[in-house]
């Protein structure tokens, strides 16, 4: 008799632990039973309502959403609270996630950190990783990079892929631990081997650039594609760029657009802006100005400076849509506040010719000067043209096309580069001094083991038994 059949018979006879186990088997799927979310929920809820603690924890996690069933945050907190009263480790972790993300409870990093801490001290790898993240970024408790690395180390020792990725970051930049490309790559490879999309993407980029590893286009493409298949927006964007530019792969604008579109629909602002422009430029997709503006506006809602600029541009230009100079000025102004020199130049032109609602040469000069100071040649040309008419307003302004002016700009760039190099050298010297004074750090893996009830037997805890919510997306430096 198979394990599933045995558990099903016992579940139908009223064995509460078997009811939970049957639900988990339906939830995860096995070679002998297909995944069936409805049946999984039925059996897990039945066990939870009979007071079986692991079932209460799992059902609470399911109700928090993102697992294919209708979320019910109020009920989720009730079930998790019941499990916590029975001292369930996974319930502490899941309640921490609820507080961290404001799911069914007001967002509270203090409470999140406290719940993660309890589960972490009991040896739960995902909780150790999240507690490390709280310590690294000072979320709900005092920041401590040293303690963060220790908890990441505990979690990574249990083969947690998110913690391994965090350790890779730490070793790459030399945070608390010794800066080591070898150790960074070791942890990164371990994380990528387990299928963490962020790690796969980072490893792909390192192969592409030959950073800490021998350059290999084939491996780079393979890892970036793996991450893209897992809906990693950075990987999708990178793959789109590779197809768009013919880098490593043969140029294919249609495939590039597909990658951008997928990342855009996942909410990535850079991709939304790229998709919007692709619709206007008929780049890999049939021209559709309405759709183009739709995606640009979605990126603009996330304060994407380029998208705001283009929303202004297409609102100010004849594109088959209603021309709205007032709206264009609003978009340009928001983009300018984010530092867009192109938007500053456009605002100047609107005040120069009256499209801003009033003609105001002084305002035009103000915006041209701001844009020109950032190197915008159109703004400098506009200032030069205006200064030819009235030099008293604009002071001494060199002809942007003169050799003297070009030499002056080149000298300014060289001075800026020398200053930046000097700053980097000082930073490197400070980091080197700190690394020489670092105490030796030994990461000792925890000894506590965790088990889940499986019929009358005890088996090592496996991912999802009971249900554990996913950790927060790995922090990107």
Q: What is the pLDDT of residue 476?
A: 32
| HSE, side-chain direction, 13 A CA sphere, residue 312 | 27
**CA 13 to CA 15: how far, in whole Å?**
6
d(CA 368, CA 377): 10
CATH 1.25.40.10 in the chain, residue ranges: 1-107, 303-400
Q: Is the dihedral of CA 440, 445, 447, 450 positive or negative?
A: positive
- Separation of alpha carbons 285 and 257, rounded Å: 7
What is the CATH number that goes with domain 303-400? 1.25.40.10
**pLDDT tens track for 408-462:** 667 666 776 777 677 666 666 665 555 445 443 333 333 333 223 222 222 333 3
* Sign, CA torsion 22/24/25/27: positive
pLDDT exceeds cutoff 60 at 396? no
Does the pLDDT at position 265 exceed 60?
yes
Largest CA distance in the chain: 97
* Average model confidence (pLDDT) across the chain: 86
- Please tell me the predicted confidence (pLDDT) of residue 175: 76
pLDDT at position 32 is 87
pTM over 0.85, yes/no? no
Stretch 160-172: mean pLDDT, rounded? 97
Rounded to 5 degrees, what are φ and ψ at 50? -95, 5
Mode of pairing for the β-strands spanning 451-454 and 457-460 = antiparallel
CB 328 within 8 A of CB 315: yes
How far apart CA 137 and CA 237 sit, in angstroms, is: 27
- Domain 1-107 fold: 1.25.40
pLDDT at position 404 is: 60
Per-residue pLDDT, 456: 27
- Kind and range of the H or E element at 454? strand 451-454
Residues 6+ apart with CB under 8 A from 73: 63, 64, 65, 98, 103, 104, 105
The whole-number average pLDDT for the span 329-358 is 95
Q: Hunting for tokens 């750090």 — which residue is that?
A: 441
First to last CA, the chain: 52
**Tens digit of each residue's pLDDT (9 = 90 or more) over 63-122:** 987 677 788 999 999 999 999 999 999 999 999 999 999 998 899 999 999 999 999 999
pLDDT at 439: 42
Scored b (16 or more CB within 10 A) or e, 148-159 reads bbbbbbbbbbbe
Q: What is the pLDDT of residue 5?
A: 92
Instruction: Give the model confidence (pLDDT) of 270-320 as tens digits.
Output: 999 999 999 999 999 999 999 999 999 999 999 999 999 999 999 987 655
Q: What is the pLDDT of residue 69?
A: 77
Q: Residue 455: its pLDDT value, please? A: 29
Residue 71 CB coordination number (10 Å): 15
Which pLDDT score, from 0 to 100, does residue 453 have? 28
| Arithmetic mean of pLDDT, 317-339 | 86
Q: What is the pLDDT of residue 65?
A: 79
Q: What pLDDT is stored for residue 409 in this prediction?
A: 63
Q: What is the DSSP string of 402-438?
A: SHHHHHHHHHHHHHHHHHHHHHHHHHHHHHHHHHHTP
Cβ contacts of 5 within 8 Å, gap of 6 or more: none
| Burial class of residue 227 (count of CB atoms within 10 Å of its CB; 0-12, 13-18, 19+) | buried
SS3 state of residue 453: strand
pLDDT, position 321:
64
State the pLDDT at residue 433.
57
| More confident of the two residues 194 and 465 | 194
Residue 459: the pLDDT is: 31
């Amino acid at each position: 008799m198979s394990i599933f059949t045995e558990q099903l018979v016992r579940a139908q006879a009223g064995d509460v632990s078997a009811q939970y186990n049957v639900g988990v088997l339906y939830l995860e799927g096995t070679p002998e039973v297909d995944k069936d979310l409805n049946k999984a929920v039925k059996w897990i809820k039945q066990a939870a309502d009979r007071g079986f603690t692991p079932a209460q924890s799992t059902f609470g996690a399911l109700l928090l959403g993102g697992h294919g069933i209708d979320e019910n945050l109020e009920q989720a907190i009730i079930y998790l609270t019941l499990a916590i009263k029975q001292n369930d480790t996974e319930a502490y972790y899941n309640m921490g996630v609820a507080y961290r993300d404001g799911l069914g409870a007001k967002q509270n990093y203090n409470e999140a950190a406290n719940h993660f801490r309890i589960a972490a001290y009991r040896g739960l790898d995902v909780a150790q990783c999240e507690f490390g993240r709280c310590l690294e970024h000072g979320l709900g408790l005092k920041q401590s990079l040293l303690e963060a690395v220790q908890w990441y180390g505990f979690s990574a020792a249990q083969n947690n892929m998110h913690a391994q990725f965090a350790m890779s970051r730490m070793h790459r930049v030399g945070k608390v631990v010794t800066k080591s490309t070898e150790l960074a790559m070791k942890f990164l490879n371990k994380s990528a081997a387990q299928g963490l999309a962020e790690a796969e993407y980072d490893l792909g980029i390192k192969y592409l650039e030959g950073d800490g590893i021998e350059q290999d286009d084939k491996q780079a493409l393979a890892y970036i594609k793996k991450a893209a298949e897992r809906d990693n927006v950075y990987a999708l964007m990178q793959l789109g760029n590779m197809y768009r530019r013919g880098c490593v792969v043969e140029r294919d604008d249609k495939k590039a657009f597909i990658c951008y579109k997928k990342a855009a629909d996942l909410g990535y602002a850079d991709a939304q802006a790229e998709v919007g422009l692709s619709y206007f430029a008929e780049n890999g997709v049939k021209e559709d100005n309405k759709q183009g503006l739709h995606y640009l506006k979605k990126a603009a809602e996330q304060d994407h400076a380029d998208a705001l600029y283009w929303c202004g541009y297409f609102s100010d230009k004849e594109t088959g849509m209603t021309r709205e100079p007032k709206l264009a000025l609003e978009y340009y102004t928001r983009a300018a506040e984010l530092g867009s020199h192109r938007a500053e130049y456009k605002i100047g032109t609107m005040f120069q010719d009256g499209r801003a609602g009033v003609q105001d040469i002084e305002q035009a000069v103000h915006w041209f000067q701001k844009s020109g100071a950032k190197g915008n040649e159109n703004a400098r040309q506009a200032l030069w043209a205006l200064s030819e008419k009235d030099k008293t307003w604009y002071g001494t302004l060199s002809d942007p096309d003169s050799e003297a002016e070009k030499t002056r700009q080149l000298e300014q760039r060289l001075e800026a580069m020398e200053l930046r190099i000097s700053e980097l050298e000082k930073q490197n010297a400070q980091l080197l001094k700190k690394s020489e004074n670092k105490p030796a750090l030994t990461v000792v893996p925890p000894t506590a083991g965790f088990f889940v009830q499986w019929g009358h037997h005890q088996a090592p805890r496996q991912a999802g038994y009971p249900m554990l919510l996913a950790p927060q997306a790995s922090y990107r430096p």
